[in-house]
Amino acid sequence: MQTLYMQEFQKIVGSENVLTGAEDLYCYSYDATPGYSHLPEAVIIPENVEQVSAILKLANQHEIPVYPRGSGTNLSAGCVPLKGGIVLLMNRFDHIIDVDLENLVVVTEPGVIVADLNNLAAKHGLIYPPDPGTVATATLGGTIAENAGGLRGLKYGVSKHYVMGLEVVLANGDILHTGGRNVKDVSGYDLTKLFTGSEGTLGVITQATLKLVAAPECKKSIMAVFKNLDNAGTTVAGIIAAKITPATLEIMDNATIRTVEDYAHVGLPLDAEAVLLIEVDGMPEVVAKEADEILQVLKTNHADDIQVAQNDAERDKLWAARRAALPALAKLRPTTYVEDATVPRSKVPEFLRDVSRIAKNFNVTIGTFGHAGDGNMHPTIVCDNRDQKEMELVKQAMNEIFLSAIKLGGTLSGEHGIGLGKLPWMEQQHGSKVMDAMKSIKRALDPKLILNPGKLVGEC
Amino acid sequence: MDYVAIKEIQNKDQRLLKDIRDALAKCMKCGNCMAVCPIYKETRNEASVARGKLALIEGILSGENEISADLDHILSKCLCCKACAANCPCGVKADELIIRGRQAVVQARGLHPVKKLVFKLLSNRKLFDIALKAAGLFGPLSFKRLPRKMAAVARFPMPGIDKKRITAPFAPVPLRSRYPEVVKAANARHKVGFFTGCMINYIYTDVGDAVIHVLNHNDIEVVIPSEQHCCGTPVYVSGDKELAKSFARHIINVFENYDVEYVIAACGSCAEALKIEYPHMFQDDPTMYKRAKVLAEKTYEISEFLVDIVPFRRDDLGQILQTVTMHDPCHMARGIKVTKQPREILQAIPGLTFIEMKEADRCCGSGGSFSVANYSLSRKINDRKIKNIKESSADVVATSCGTCRMHLADGLEQNKVYIEAVHVVQLLEQSYCAGEI
């Protein structure tokens, strides 16, 4: 990038907020996705929407790529500055602007950490439901842009269900305000939903109006062990058919169970084909009734062992196994790919069997755990990025996993986004016409293709 | 510089770090360290957090980066509080890898000139002793004492010390000069060596007094080897491994000359050096490793010793009518993992109300010499700690490390919070005294 532009950027945000040192640039060349990195030419740290607008205007004029970034914890290479240019670091936007208890809405800047919003909401007996595994580190801007989900997605959905309005800066510097505090709002195209999950390819989010919901009064956790995977599958179907929507309905496959047991010694039987962790929440009377019904469903579907947490300590014990799933798998090998292919929930057992078969065929280690209730699985491939031969097999296995999900009527991503990691299969899932439509939207809003170029819809 | 010369530097830099290649590869860049790094919380800059630092070290191994002055500066910005390692899902010991990075910097570029000067003085035990004794004698000329106990502020600008910073005065006479080498106890049940460390010998002699009194009160004879010296932690964490080893050798030699059952330290960092770092330093030297291991196995932090080994007398404790909260030093909480024992001591004292503060084991921001080189940053980190102390509504904050105590006292004064910072063992001493009346 020419020095001349750099001086212009320094004028906008102050020279201390334009990083160009070799070490600083290196620190923004990656995110939490293995296998992708590229040096930016500058890291620019704005603090208000006017600065973002001025930066984008200038970048657009000179066709400099811009990569918005929060904490850089995404798993789809969404922040990697693959074509050089500018990393637009949004973490100085760290104020919660308004907590509107009459409308149960919060207006916040995108650099606020999700957990910080939750801590504030908790003081008012409220929650912001999207809770990705990175809740203590990820920014709201990042989670909105990636449409992040979490463990309670079955009942509470993902980020897009909570974003009511956005302030967005377009590639040309225009500042848009979409949506607002209205519960019902059908006026025009739903641009709020369009920008939510757009992965920084359509605009830069500078403010968000988010919906909060009442914190559940009470929770009850149940863990069930199955020697037969099909029984776990019919249990999930049975719970849903009983018209119960648990907040959490998690599954772990045999590979994950063995790894977790080896690592955390929580007492899981090594021959179990599946473990389900179920949590219902809400009013105490409803929770008690639903828990009873779930126990019935478990018995009918031949669960081999059932544990019900009677208090917080017991609840923590049940959750320990699920919480250990990713760390235990990640510790096996240096490199960890956490995928999030999602299938209709009725297809979960079939998908799990496919993944086990693929792991065996290609001789790669894959543990699968995930959100059985909403079909969002996390096939987790552990390997060593430095071993090219192994990586070739990993790539092939990954390909088969995504093709299997698509074949079962599933989707490439339940909550991590597409970025670069899942781009190769986008056309297979959506078909060329849908891809064309998506690319037209990209070109309409960002004609010079400066915003996170090459991601989500690929080259346009 | 031409291409060949650059390549040569890169190759040399790579060789300095190649043994940690596998350990670095374990970092999956999830960024969980961002949630707990006290420095990142203030700067929110990727180079501040373990993920960034480890990436930079990896970049040296891949030949993309060099060991530059900027890298030196970046790696120096770490408190060694170990919060990242404790929170890492992959079990990456980032704190140790950052120190390994610093060692490579020292090998490639040499020590920072100021540190070089300080360590030169520190490595000459006799000269260091004379200098610090002089500092105690002439201290009142250069430092003004404040009403708060053990607090002083510089009368005129001093190199490396922020002019508003409250430190503790140097003792007029160091601890070890005030006691005979063997402090006998009638009917001694145990005989222990006391590793005083620098803070207790030259500054917080009140803690040293308390340790000796409390041990004597429990029928324990205390041996205070006169030739002991700094544990070497400041040198070790700065990356000068060879100099740190010479400190370790000296301490091991000195304590081998005394027939003691246990060695007691009253500072988390000193205790960690003897218990964990020394054996670690001599991993490739079987003879020294064995000797380091012997010392390591008989070393205890004072509260750990009083609770797990003695156990301390509870029949003659007197009342202390105060509310006390506890700050866990990083090297106590995540180093030697001693957090229950100090609480057990505090809770045993009649009349004392113990109350937990929020984030009791979060770093106070001191980081030893870190707070000298980065005072305003360490002040910000400390302000969060002070807020938690204040919100606990305690009268006293107890801790187990001299540099923590000094930084807490500074923060309490700067924030106008009138709460006293003391060592746990001082409260126990006070309780025994109250019991005698």
Are B30 and A32 an interchain contact pair (Cβ–Cβ within 8 Å)? yes
This complex has an ipTM of: 0.94
Residues β-bridged to residue A205: A168
Location of each CATH 3.40.462.40 domain in chain A: 218-407
Location of each CATH 3.30.465.10 domain in chain A: 96-214
Contacts of A137 in chain B (CB under 8 A): 31-32, 34-35
Do residues A79 and A102 lie in contact, with contact meaning Cβ atoms separated by under 8 Å? no
Q: Which of B28, B42, B54 should one mutate to test binding to chain A, selecting the residue with the greatest count of A CBs within 10 A?
A: B28
- The token pair at A314 is 């017991």
Domain A3-89 fold is: 3.30.43
| SS3 category, B214 | helix
A24, A28, A30: residue with CB nearest B29: A30
Q: What's the rounded Cα separation, in Å, for the pair A210 and A196?
A: 12
Q: What's the rounded Cα separation, in Å, for the pair B320 and B434?
A: 8
* CA neighbours closer than 13 Å in the CB half-sphere of residue A447: 5
A22, A28, A384: residue with CB nearest B46: A28
Are A27 and B52 an interchain contact pair (Cβ–Cβ within 8 Å)? yes
Are A334 and B22 an interchain contact pair (Cβ–Cβ within 8 Å)? yes
B203 Cβ neighbours under 8 A, 6+ residues apart: B150, B168, B169, B170, B171, B402, B406
B2 Cβ neighbours under 8 A, 6+ residues apart: none
Report residue A424 CA to chain centroid gap: 19
Do residues A104 and A126 lie in contact, with contact meaning Cβ atoms separated by under 8 Å? yes
Q: What's the rounded Cα separation, in Å, for the pair A164 and B334?
A: 43
Q: Give 10-residue mean pLDDT values along chain A (460 residues).
A: 85 97 97 95 98 98 97 96 97 97 98 97 96 94 96 94 98 98 95 98 98 96 95 93 94 94 89 95 96 97 95 90 90 93 93 95 95 94 94 96 97 95 95 98 98 96
Q: What's the rounded Cα separation, in Å, for the pair B44 and B131?
A: 40
- Delineate the domains of chain B, giving CATH numbers in brackets: 3-110 (1.10.1060.10), 114-167 (no CATH), 175-309 (3.40.50), 323-436 (3.40.50.1860)
Location of each CATH 3.30.43.10 domain in chain A: 3-89
DSSP symbol at B168:
P
Given 3-state DSSP classes, what are the helix, strand and coil percentages for chain A, each rounded to the nearest 5?
40, 20, 40
From A94's Cα to the closest Cα of chain B, the distance in A is 11
pLDDT computed for residue A1 by the predictor: 67
Backbone torsion region of residue B7, taken as left when φ is above 0, otherwise alpha when ψ lies between -120 and 50, otherwise beta: alpha
Question: Which amino acid, residue B406?
Answer: M
> What CATH number does the domain located at A96-214 have?
3.30.465.10
From B54's Cα to the closest Cα of chain A, the distance in A is 10
CB-based contact, A76 to chain B, within 8 Å: no
From B49's Cα to the closest Cα of chain A, the distance in A is 10
CB-based contact, A31 to chain B, within 8 Å: yes
Question: E strands of B196-346, at which residues?
Answer: 220-223, 262-265, 299-301, 323-326
A23, A115, A335: residue with CB nearest B56: A23
Q: Regarding beta strands A86-89 and A66-69, do their DSSP bridges make them parallel or antiparallel, or are they unpaired?
A: parallel
B107 Cβ neighbours under 8 A, 6+ residues apart: B16
From B59's Cα to the closest Cα of chain A, the distance in A is 8
CB-based contact, A245 to chain B, within 8 Å: no
Contacts of B28 in chain A (CB under 8 A): 32, 34, 330, 334-336
Nearest to B136 by CA among B175, B168, B169, B177: B169
Q: What's the rounded Cα separation, in Å, for the pair B399 and B396?
A: 10
Q: What's the rounded Cα separation, in Å, for the pair A280 and A249?
A: 9
What residues in chain B have per-residue pLDDT under 50?
none
Are A134 and B29 an interchain contact pair (Cβ–Cβ within 8 Å)? no
Which residues, numbered 117 to 156 in chain A, qualify as contacts with chain B under a Cβ-Cβ cut-off of 8 Å?
Answer: 134, 136-137
Question: Which amino acid, residue A250?
Answer: E
CB-based contact, A365 to chain B, within 8 Å: no
- The token pair at B21 is 């290649």
Nearest to A163 by CA among A134, A204, A205: A205
Compute the C-alpha angle A149/A152/A155, nearest 5°.
105
Domain A218-407 fold is: Vanillyl-alcohol Oxidase; Chain A, domain 3 (3.40.462)
Contacts of B65 in chain A (CB under 8 A): 22-23, 26
Are B35 and A137 an interchain contact pair (Cβ–Cβ within 8 Å)? yes
Nearest to A138 by CA among A221, A63, A58, A71: A71
pLDDT computed for residue B159 by the predictor: 62
Search chain A and give the residue with CA nearest B88. Answer: A327
pLDDT computed for residue B1 by the predictor: 53
pTM to 2 decimals?
A: 0.93
From A242's Cα to the closest Cα of chain B, the distance in A is 37
pLDDT computed for residue B138 by the predictor: 76
From A262's Cα to the closest Cα of chain B, the distance in A is 15
